[in-house]
Amino acid sequence: MTRDTEQAVGLVEKIFRDASSLSNYNAWKTVHTTLNWTCDFTKSILHGSVTLQLQRRHRGDITVKEIVLDTSYLDIKTVRIDGLVVDYHLQDRVEPLGSALCIPYTNYTDSITDSITVVIDYSTTSQCTALQWLLPVQTSGSKPYLFSQCQAIHARSMLPCQDTPLIKSTYSFNIRSPYPVVATGLSKGARDFREDGTIYVYEQPVPIPSYLAALASGDLATAQIGPRSTLYTEPALLLDAQRELEPVIQNFINAAESFLPNYVWDQFNVLVLPQSFPYGGMENPNITFATPTILAGDGSNLDVLAHELAHSWAGNLVTCAGWSHFWLNEGWTVFLERKIVTKIHGFEEGEFSAIIGWKALEGSVAGYGSDHEYTKLVQNLDGKDPDDAFSSVPYEKGFNLLYHIQKVLGGPVVFDPFVKFYFERYARAVVDTDMFKSCLFEFYHEEEHRRALNAIDWETWFYGTGLPSRPDFDTTLARVCYSLSERWSHTTSTTEFGRDDVKGWSAGQFIVFLESLTSSSSFTSKDLLHDMASLYGLRSSRNAEILFRYFTLGIKCKSGTEVYRDIAAWLGTVGRMKFVRPLFRGLNSVDRALALETFAKVGMGLHPICREMVRKDLKL
Ligand code: BES
Ligand code: ZN
């Protein structure tokens, strides 16, 4: 075997490169991380220490004379190696990666040490991008709140670490806070120190990359939502959220386990956050973080949780080898999510979800331009901020590649065994795009399958820009949406329409209908839209996904000040980037003054990541 094949089949450790980390992860690897933190809500900082247990990677190679860690806007106080205080040097900041923390290490004892313990006392600062500290008015109660969001490269602003998905470590969290705390891992109880707060202990026994380290603290109440699942949220949301989540969570887990290896994380808990959480969901192990906009009252937005659950295999267990291969996390996860949806709701629903995804892919490609680097599946991120590359491309182009492979091989009957094989083979490891492909070829060695695989244009799928060719998804559920959209696009009067047009429609069907009108060149009338909105009750929808599409259409039709003010008001109540960014961009295109005024008003309440993106979008 050549070294390449040995690496591909995992016999020797492959040497990867991650353009998004300054740490020397090929010289050392973190095997365990202990965090001792105090949440200081008056200063809005975390302070305490991190203990990194490091192992030298190339045994016998002592030529590397330093330990380099990622940091970003941290206040470093002291560094100790194996108990001795040592010198360190914090390098100048390099955007967007932060400041490398260099700790000279020339083996302070006489022997060649392969395993060392580094303890760093430090605190976060007001420039921390991973944490958002909320005032009581930004919550639904009367207490302050804190939560983290580390993916992709924000963990380094919360702790000095090897901030790369290439390195996986077990974790212990000891977090002192006046309010209940959740963190990545399993709860090991709490120790009460009266007026000094309580220390909450969490242990993560499965090695995880730094981007999955997470905590939240605030007025958290709990409710059971399944045999392996607890819901955490503020008291005001608790009962409604429990009522909505309880019927689906264990079904999702059962559906996933019916075609994947067993769930290794034990518990699957959910934290429903305050509005400013910038994503739909975040797959923090054992404690998925979710936006409150997943609560629509009728379960229609809960596919987000199927998605985060699917990350328990794709991403959290089998991890992408650097953000250039992010599609291996998200493309796989979308593929698994749609398999879960198909198991529970049937083939037509799975295909319908793929149709919605395709539209998002078209939107992202159109937004970047079809020859842009970020429309590639495998992206060159040298000198780039992974947050800027975030779009539907890794999700939906990735899904479409897997969907295509499944199809040419002969459908789920042939592909399912590979899905299981892949997640077993690479469990607890990291995988890049080449390894994924080799694994596929290794699994399918029969002549007919090889022929099918060889006919795939891998080069274009992996490294080509723009859209792939569109598969023929089943349109059973989408057809009525398209035909109603056609009718509205070619009418001048609203008398032919009635409430029954949308009778029995799912939220997804409203989404497809509204998106179809948004891309129709014939539907531009704000008066028609106005009438449609009252006829179908669009403005009063409790579903944020529907409201967002309605507002997008309102901007397209240049609906005027009344609607723009409505959008501006809504922007004060949601923080999910997927909604906030396009609406700010949209408002900016029709009424820049209002966009700026709105940003001045609500900008400080937005999550730091989201605020920064909107600032860029508005060219401020
Ligand atoms: N891991 C992502 C969120 C993420 C990605 C945060 C990259 C930061 C950097 C999460 O699993 C996700 O994909 N969330 C989606 C859910 C949707 C696809 C169902 C979201 O937030 O919209
Ligand atoms: Zn995801």
Which DSSP string do the residues of 326-341 spell out, in sequence order?
A: THHHHHHHHHHHHHHH
Q: What does the DSSP 8-state code read for residue 314? A: B
Question: How many other CB atoms sit within 10 Å of the CB of residue 87?
Answer: 8
Q: Which residues pair with 170 in a beta bridge?
A: 32
What's the CA gap between 249 and 134, in Å, rounded?
A: 28
- Using most ligand atoms within 8 A of CB, pick from 330, 334, 381, 393 the residue to mutate for ligand 1: 330
Question: Alpha-carbon torsion 131, 137, 140, 141, what sign?
Answer: positive
| Mean pLDDT by groups of 10 residues along the chain of 620 residues | 58 87 96 98 98 85 84 98 96 98 79 84 98 97 98 98 98 98 98 90 98 98 98 98 98 98 98 98 98 97 98 98 98 99 98 98 97 98 96 98 98 98 98 98 97 98 98 98 98 94 98 98 97 97 98 98 98 97 98 98 95 95
Query: What length is written for the chain?
Result: 620
Peptide linkage before 285 cis (omega within 30 of 0): no
Query: Is 308 known to be catalytic?
Result: yes
Which residue, chain included where needed, has tokens 């970047």?
Answer: 368
Q: Nearest ligand to the C-alpha of residue 326?
A: 1
Best probe residue, ligand 1, of 279, 316, 333, 613 (max atoms within 8 Å of C-beta) = 279
The pLDDT, as a whole number, for residue 106 is 79
- Nearest CA residue ID for atom 14, ligand 1: 281
> Which ligand has the minimum distance to the alpha carbon of residue 609?
1
DSSP bridge pairs for 54: 30, 116
Q: What residues line ligand 1, using a CB cutoff of 6 Å?
A: 151-152, 279-283, 304, 307-308, 311, 330, 390, 395, 578
Among residues 308, 330, 337, 545, the one annotated as catalytic is 308
Supply 580's token pair: 């906030």
Cα 227 to ligand 1 centre (Å)? 25
Active site residue 564: no
Ligand 1: atom nearest CA of 315 is 1
Question: Do 249 and 303 touch, CB atoms closer than 8 A?
Answer: no
Neighbours of ion ligand 2 (CB under 5 A): 330, 333
Q: Quote the pLDDT of residue 110.
A: 52
Nearest to 98 by CA among 210, 217, 216, 215: 210
Find out whether 96 and 153 touch, Cβ atoms under 8 Å: yes
Q: Are 327 and 390 in contact (CB under 8 A)?
A: no
CB 321 within 8 A of CB 431: yes
In the DSSP assignment, the letter for residue 469 is P
Backbone conformation region of residue 211, classed left if phi is above 0, alpha if psi is from -120 to 50, else beta: alpha
Cα–Cα distance measured from residue 236 to residue 228, given in angstroms and rounded to the nearest whole number: 23
Find, among 297, 301, 269, 296, the residue nearest to 285 by Cα. 269
Question: Coil, strand or helix: which one is 55?
Answer: strand
For the CA of 291, the nearest ligand: 1
Structural contact between residues 49 and 78, judged by C-beta atoms closer than 8 angstroms = no
- Residue 311 Cα, ligand 2 centroid: separation in angstroms? 7
> Hey, is 353 helix, strand or coil?
helix
Q: What is the pTM of this model?
A: 0.96
Give me the phi and psi of 145, to 5 degrees please: -150, 150
Check residue 195 and give its pLDDT.
83
> 127 alpha carbon to ligand 1 midpoint, in Å?
23
Q: How far is the CA of 254 from the centre of ligand 2 (A)?
A: 19
For ligand 2, the distance from its centroid to the CA atom of residue 502, given in whole angstroms, is 31
The closest-lying atom of ligand 1 relative to the alpha carbon of residue 387 is: 9
The predicted structure's pLDDT at residue 57: 87
What pLDDT is attached to residue 495? 94
**Residues 355 and 512: beta-carbon distance below 8 Å:** yes
Cβ burial of 527 (10 Å; 0-12, 13-18, 19+) is exposed
Instruction: Give 420's contacts (C-beta < 8 A, 6+ positions apart).
Output: 259, 260, 261
Sheet holding 281-282, edge to edge: 221-226, 229-233, 269-272, 287-290, 281-282
